[in-house]
Structure 1
Amino acid sequence: MKIAIIGATGWIGSTVMSEALSRGHQVIAIGRDTRKIENTQVEKYTLDLLSQGGLKEAVAGADIVIASIGGRALGNHEIVENTAERLLSELPDTHIQRLIWVGGAGSLEVAPGVKLVTVPEFPVEYKDEAIAQGCALEIFRKSNSSLDWLFVSPAAEIFPGEKKGQYRIGADELLTDNEGNSKISVQDYALALIDEVEQSMHHNKRIGIAY
C-alpha cells in the first residue's frame, strides 16, 4: 500500500513513516521542508499547508493519507483546524477515500464530561495545541464529507521509547494502567496507526491508544 504522510518530518510523522516502511509499504513524505528526510526509499513532496493548492498533486498515487499536524513549530495552532477542514473538503475530490488523523489527548475524558485539557495539572505549554486538536475533532464529527476519517488520540504521555509491540484501544475516555498512568511510546502509537491502515477496523470516529 502507498501511504501519504502529511507532516512526515515531525517526530510522530517520521516514526510513522519508519513503521510503514518496515512493514513493506511505500511512502509519500509530505512536509514544508522534505530536505530533512534522508531516506531514499520514500517519495518526497514539499507542501506548505498555509498556501493554496498542491494537495491533490501531493497525494497523487497514494491509497490513504495520514496527517500529523501540530502547529507548535510554526507557532500557529489554527493550522490544525484549518487543515482538518481542508482535508475533509479537498480529499473527496481526489482518489483518496480514507484519512487517519494524528490527534491529541487533551479532548479525552478523565471523568464524564471532564476533558483532560481542563484539569489543573495539564501542561500549559501544550494547552493551545490540545484545544486546537479538540476543535479539529469537532470539525470531523460535524462534517458531512464523504471522506472515511479516523481521529487517533495518543495517551496523555507519548514519548520516544522502545517498541513493545502492544497497546490498548479505547474511545473517548482516557485509558490508564493499574497505577493510573496514561502512556504510550511513539513507536507503539505508530504501530497502532499502521495496524489501522492495514486492517481498517474503525471508521468516522475517535479512538485512543495507550498501554
Structure 2
Amino acid sequence: MNIAVLGASGWLGSTISAEALARGHRVIGLARNPQGLPEGVTARAFDLNTEQSLAEALAGADLLIASVGGRAAGNHEIVPATAARLLAELPKTGVKRLLWVGGAGSLEVAPGEVLVAQPSFPAEYKAEAIAQGEALAVFRDSQSPLAWTFVSPAAEIYPGERSGAYRLGGDQLLVDSEGRSRISAADYAVALLDLAEQDAPAQTRVSVAY
C-alpha cells in the first residue's frame, strides 16, 4: 500500500511511518522540513500554512494518515482547519481514505461528560485537546464523501515498546483493570496500521488503549 503520512517528522508521525515501513508499505512523508525523515521514506516538503497543492503532495498515495498538532507553534486552530481542508480537498485526489490521529480529550468518561472537562485534566494539554475535539466536530458535521476515521489514543500515550496488544473502543474512554487509560506510541501505531490494512470503519471515531 502507498501510505502518505502528514506530519511525518513528529513523534507520532515518525512512529507511524516506521511501523508502516516495517510492514513493507511505501511511505510518503509530508513535513514542513522533510530533510530529517528516516531512510526508506519518500520525503516531500509540505506546509499546511501555505496554499501548496495537496494533490501534488499526495501523488501516488492510496491512503493518508494525518498527524497534525499546534503545540510547537501555539497555533492550535490549525487542527480543525486541517480537518476541514482535507475533507474538502482529498476527494479531488487519488486518496480515498483518511486516518486521523485524534486526541483523547473528547472521549466520554460518563454519559455527557468528556475527559477534557474533568478538573484533573492537565492544563498544559487542554488547548490541544479542545482543538482535537473541534476537529472531531468538523468531521461529524461534514457531508464530504471522503472515508475518514478519527482514531483517539488512550488518555496517556507514551514512549514504550511495541507489544502488538491493544483494544479498540468507540466514544468512551477505555481503561484497564487498574482504572488507567494508556497506550504506547508504538502500539498506537500498530493499531493504526491494522486499521489501514483491514479497512477501518468509515465516518466514525474509534479509540485505542490497553
RMSD value over aligned CA atoms? 0.7
The CA deviation at 1:17 is: 0.2
Task: Please give the alpha-carbon distance, in whole angstroms, between the structure 2 residues aligned to 1:40 and 1:181.
Answer: 36
1:147 alignment partner in structure 2:
146
Task: Please give the alpha-carbon distance, in whole angstroms, between the structure 1 residues aligned to 2:174 and 2:57.
Answer: 35
TM-score, scaled to structure 1: 0.98
Matches within 5 A, 1:178-189: 178-189=177-188
Task: Please give the alpha-carbon distance, in whole angstroms, between the structure 2 residues aligned to 1:201 and 1:55.
Answer: 23
Structure 2 residue 29 is the aligned partner of structure 1 residue 29: yes
The CA deviation at 1:72 is: 0.5
Task: Please give the alpha-carbon distance, in whole angstroms, between the structure 1 residues aligned to 2:16 and 2:193.
Answer: 7
Please tell me the residue identity of whatever aligns with 2:202: H
2:175 alignment partner in structure 1:
176
Structure 2 residue 98 is the aligned partner of structure 1 residue 99: yes
2:9 alignment partner in structure 1:
9
Task: Please give the alpha-carbon distance, in whole angstroms, between the structure 2 residues aligned to 1:199 and 1:74.
Answer: 35
2:158 alignment partner in structure 1:
159
Q: Which moved more, 1:46-55 or 1:145-154?
A: 46-55
The CA deviation at 1:53 is: 2.5
Q: Which runs of 5+ in 2 are unaligned?
A: none
Task: Please give the alpha-carbon distance, in whole angstroms, between the structure 1 residues aligned to 2:208 and 2:154.
Answer: 6
> Could you say what secondary structure the match of 1:29 adopts?
strand
Do the aligned residues in 1 keep the contact of 2:32 with 2:46 (CA within 8 Å)?
yes
1:190 alignment partner in structure 2:
189
TM-score, scaled to structure 2: 0.99
Task: Please give the alpha-carbon distance, in whole angstroms, between the structure 1 residues aligned to 2:82 and 2:200.
Answer: 24
Task: Please give the alpha-carbon distance, in whole angstroms, between the structure 2 residues aligned to 1:168 and 1:202.
Answer: 15
The CA deviation at 1:54 is: 2.2
**Runs of 4+ residues over 3 Å off in structure 1:** none
Structure 2 residue 209 is the aligned partner of structure 1 residue 200: no
